[in-house]
Amino acid sequence: MTVPDPFHQRYVFPRHRLRPTLRDESKIPLVLVACGSFSPITYLHLRMFEMAKDQIEEEGKYELLGGYFSPVNDNYGKKGLAPAVHRIRMCEIAVDTTSDWIMVDSWEATNPSYQRTAIVLDHFNDVLNGAEGGGVLLSDGQVKPIKIMLLAGGDLIESFGIPNCWALKDLHHILGNYGCVIVERTGADVFNFLLSHDVLNRYRKNIRVVKQLIHNDISSTKIRLFIKRGMSIKYLLPNLVIDYLSQHELYLD
């Protein structure tokens, strides 16, 4: 099932949890964007934002204004991908019941066609820093542009090294213009991968690696398998998301 075009035509960019001003105007305003399938969303997806937030606050260079999940379009064609309307709703349920600063943007998911990650980040730049958004207004009347960074797990970053998986121009665009916050994956040596990958190494100053102090390898793939086998998924994702999965009989096949 593909979400019909009229749903996308009703699209409004969510700002209800986006902080409009800086507490410390010497810092760079920052918004994190996580692109992915979220089929379904798990506690690890939510936890990634909190781990990134801790590191950003400790670093002291940026001030985090908000974060966004951007579920992928149905036309991405990935195996195990539930229809966008369900993935959007599950993400909304998850953040509404657990977070006061993370939101869900449906622009990517409800587009008539698949949108590359580079284009999705451009979309966020347009709405946050363009005529509609305008950046952050400072006390002296000046406007400071909002820095946008891609939040990703180590598995997504490792896909940067898979031949023909990413267009080279997109990697330069994402890493050069926006940058990444990478949450390391259990058992993966992200630092070694960054060193060995030419494009990632070139933009290493735009990449921040977040170490998992409590290792967590929950994955959407495992959740779908548990559901298919009739196993419990309690405590792996929010209860209301589990209720939604059950109500709509998702991932049973």
pLDDT of amino acid 166: 84
Provide CB contacts within 8 A for 248, sequence distance 6+: 86
pLDDT of amino acid 79: 83
pLDDT, one tens digit per residue, over 48-92 is 999 999 999 999 999 999 999 999 999 998 888 999 999 999 999
Identity of the residue numbered 119: I
Label residue 204 exposed, middle or buried (CB < 10 Å: 0-12, 13-18, 19+).
middle
pLDDT, one tens digit per residue, over 188-232 is 667 777 777 888 889 989 999 898 888 888 999 999 999 999 999
pLDDT, one tens digit per residue, over 114-161 is 999 999 999 999 999 997 668 999 999 999 999 999 999 877 777 776
pLDDT of amino acid 253: 86
Length of the chain equals 253
